[in-house]
Amino acid sequence: MAKASILGVQTDAQTFNQAVNQLQSWASDSQGRYVCTCPVYTLMMCRENPTVMQAVNGADMVTADGMPVVWVQRRRGNPQAERVYGPDVMEALLAQTATTDIKHYFWGGLPGVADTLVQRMQTQHPSLKVAGIYSPPVSSVGDKPDPEVVERLNDSGADVIWVGLGSPKQDIWMMRYRPALRAPLLIGVGAAFDMLAGVKSQAPSWMQRSGLEWVFRLAQEPRRLGRRYLVYNPLFVWHVLKEGI
Q: Which pLDDT score is estimated for 117?
A: 96
Where in the chain does DSSP place strands (E)? 2-6, 9-13, 33-38, 61-64, 103-108, 129-134, 160-164, 185-188
Q: Which pLDDT score is estimated for 244?
A: 81
Please state the pTM of the whole predicted model. Answer: 0.95
Question: How far, CA to CA in Å, does 198 sit from each of 113, 117, 126, 193, 223?
Answer: 9, 8, 19, 9, 21
First to last CA, the chain: 20
What is the count of structural domains for the chain?
Answer: 1
Region 93-118 average pLDDT: 96
Measured at the CA of 61, the angle between CA 182 and CA 86, to 5 degrees, comes to: 90
In this predicted structure, the answer to whether residue 97 has a pLDDT above a threshold of 90 is yes
Task: Report the alpha-carbon distance of residue 237 to residue 27 in Å, rounded.
Answer: 35
Nearby residues of 24 by Cβ (< 8 Å), 6 or more positions away:
93, 96, 97, 102
Q: Which domain holds residue 217?
A: 2-243
pLDDT in tens, 197-234: 999 888 899 999 899 998 999 998 998 999 999 999 99
pLDDT in tens, 69-78: 999 999 999 9
* Residues present in the chain in total: 245
